[in-house]
């Protein structure tokens, strides 16, 4: 269990840093992010603790199921995109297009290095995920004349499909939709979200992606 404890500690430290990213990006944007790390937020905030919990649990679960393998390293790299995207969407209901697009490309490049997902499966998973959520996006506009979800969620679905591959894309998106619904109920009950606000599908999808990546 020493390895699990070490990876949980490392995941928690990584999550804290990614929580800082989630605090900084909505304030200054992605272009100024490197210079912003000269001035860290010293007082712990909710974003830090969410990052710690998700980072520690995600990385330790991946180590427990995958061991010290290339898949664990790839999962860790994917989490660098997934965790701040999760926190920003949960907090601000925003998805910065550069983040899912970067994650999509990372999926295509890194997955063939491991033994889980081929390049073809990664590409098809990304395309199917994006097309499925694009269909929901257009259906909401056509039938209800409202955006049932943001276009950023379409990009996220493509990113997650590329990360988990064709064999797991439907499981990840279905599980992510459930997580997003649960998050919305919590935000509504705590009055941090109105009934006309976007459902934070992105947060749920990122959490589901981390879980699926860990158990693959």
C-alpha distance from residue 202 to each of 8, 12, 52, 71, 194 (Å): 24, 21, 19, 23, 17
pLDDT of residue 123: 96
pLDDT tens, residue by residue, 199-215: 667 888 999 999 999 98
Q: What local confidence, expressed as pLDDT, does residue 23 receive?
A: 86
Other residues' Cβ atoms within 10 Å of the Cβ of residue 83: 28
Question: Over the chain, what is the mean pLDDT?
Answer: 84
Looking at residue 76, what is its pLDDT?
94
CA distance 200 to 177: 9
- All structural domains of the chain with their residue ranges: 2-215
pLDDT in tens, 106-131: 999 999 987 789 999 999 999 999 99
Q: Rounded distance, CA 186 to CA 91, Å? A: 13
If you average pLDDT over each of 14-18, 36-40, 111-115, 142-146, which comes out highest? 14-18
Among the ranges given (22-31, 73-82, 148-157), the one the predictor scored with the smallest mean pLDDT: 22-31
CA distance 139 to 145: 9
> Which of 20-34, 52-66, 145-159: highest mean pLDDT?
52-66
- Confidence class for position 74, pLDDT limits 50, 70, 90: very high
The first and second tokens of residue 173, run together, are 């998106």
Q: Mean pLDDT throughout 35-41?
A: 51
In angstroms, the Cα distances linking 92 to 10, 83, 125, 183, 193 are 27, 14, 27, 13, 10
Q: What is the pLDDT of residue 34?
A: 53
Angstrom distances, CA of residue 50 to CA of 9, 24, 84, 152, 172: 14, 15, 10, 21, 20
Report d(CA 109, CA 103) in Å as an integer: 10
Q: Give the mean pLDDT of 60-67.
A: 90
Alpha helices (runs of H) in the chain, residue ranges in sequence order: 2-28, 33-36, 46-66, 70-92, 98-110, 119-144, 151-164, 169-189, 201-215
Whether the predicted pLDDT of 137 surpasses 90: no
Q: Which of 26-30, 103-107, 163-167 has the lowest mean pLDDT?
A: 26-30
């Amino acid at each position: 269990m020493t390895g699990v404890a070490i990876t949980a500690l490392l995941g928690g430290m990584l999550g804290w840093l990614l929580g800082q990213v989630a605090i900084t990006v909505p304030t200054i944007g992605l272009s100024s992010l490197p210079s912003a790390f000269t001035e860290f937020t010293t007082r712990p905030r909710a974003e830090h603790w969410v990052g710690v919990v998700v980072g520690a649990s995600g990385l330790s679960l991946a180590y427990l199921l995958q061991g010290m393998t290339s898949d664990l390293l790839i999962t860790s790299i994917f989490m660098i995109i997934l965790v701040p995207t999760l926190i920003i969407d949960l907090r601000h209901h925003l998805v910065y297009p550069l983040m899912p697009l970067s994650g999509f490309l990372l999926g295509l490049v890194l997955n063939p290095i491991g033994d889980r997902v081929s390049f073809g499966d990664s590409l098809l998973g990304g395309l199917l995920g994006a097309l499925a959520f694009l269909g929901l996006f257009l259906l909401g506009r056509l039938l209800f004349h409202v955006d049932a979800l943001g276009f950023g969620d379409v990009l996220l679905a493509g990113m997650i499909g590329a990360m988990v591959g064709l064999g797991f894309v439907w499981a990840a998106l279905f599980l992510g939709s459930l997580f997003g619904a649960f998050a919305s109920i919590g935000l509504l009950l705590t009055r941090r979200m109105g009934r006309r606000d976007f459902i934070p599908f992105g947060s749920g999808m990122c959490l589901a992606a981390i879980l699926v990546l860990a158990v693959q």
